[in-house]
Amino acid sequence: MPVDRADPEPMTPYQYPNPREALPEIVVPNAIPTDDRVWVPQAENVWFRPLCLNASQGYWMNLLKVRKSGVLSRHRHPQAVHGFVLKGRWKYLEHDWEATEGSYVFEPPGETHTLYVPEDVEEMITYFQVNGVMYYTDPWGKGMGYEDVFTKIDMCRKHYEAVGLGADFTDQFIR
């Protein structure tokens, strides 16, 4: 809705309460954390930093950090994924494009791809919104495992408990 130029008090905040059922917003200061304990290990030299773990709608948003080159994973998404490269670069072996710093990537539902970080990349950080599930496969599509928002929540709780932040540190990201 455009700003009403006739509004005599444009800087006056909205004066009514939000619906009781509305969930609180999430604001994550320093989304790229300086405290390494916030990064949850996912595999050797691979971590994620949760930003939103939406259990009610089945998606998650996180930063993925990789400090190794080579194949990270081969997986399929039944729903769309959005990514934005903050640092470094990566590609999918199935495509000829490369996602570099500042690139936005849309991954369509149904695609299976193999994430690869080039040899000369010391660190890659990408913001991802993953809807539904990541279904890990071999090159011929045989299932090898999966991740969803609930496995992500479980990984976070176990990690944060182990590093002294407490399992409930995870709760701030859950909606």
pLDDT tens per residue across span 76-97: 999 999 999 999 999 999 999 9
pLDDT tens per residue across span 119-175: 999 999 999 999 999 999 999 999 999 999 999 999 999 999 999 999 999 999 999
Amino acid 7: pLDDT: 79
SS3 for 34-62, per residue? CCHHHCEEEECCEEEEEEEEECCCCEEEE
Alpha helix segments (H runs only) across the chain: 149-162
Give me the residue spans of the domains in the chain.
Answer: 37-173
pTM of the complete model:
0.91
User: If you average pLDDT over every residue of the chain, what do you get?
Assistant: 95
Amino acid 9: pLDDT: 86
Largest alpha-carbon pair distance within the chain? 64
Amino acid 1: pLDDT: 57
37-173: CATH homologous superfamily?
Answer: Jelly Rolls (2.60.120.10)
Percent of the chain with pLDDT over 70: 97
Query: Average pLDDT for residues 8-34, to the nearest whole number?
Result: 92
State how far the Cα of 117 lies from the Cα of 140, in Å rounded to an integer. Answer: 21
pLDDT at 2 over 80: no
Closest CA to 109 of 139, 82, 148, 72: 82
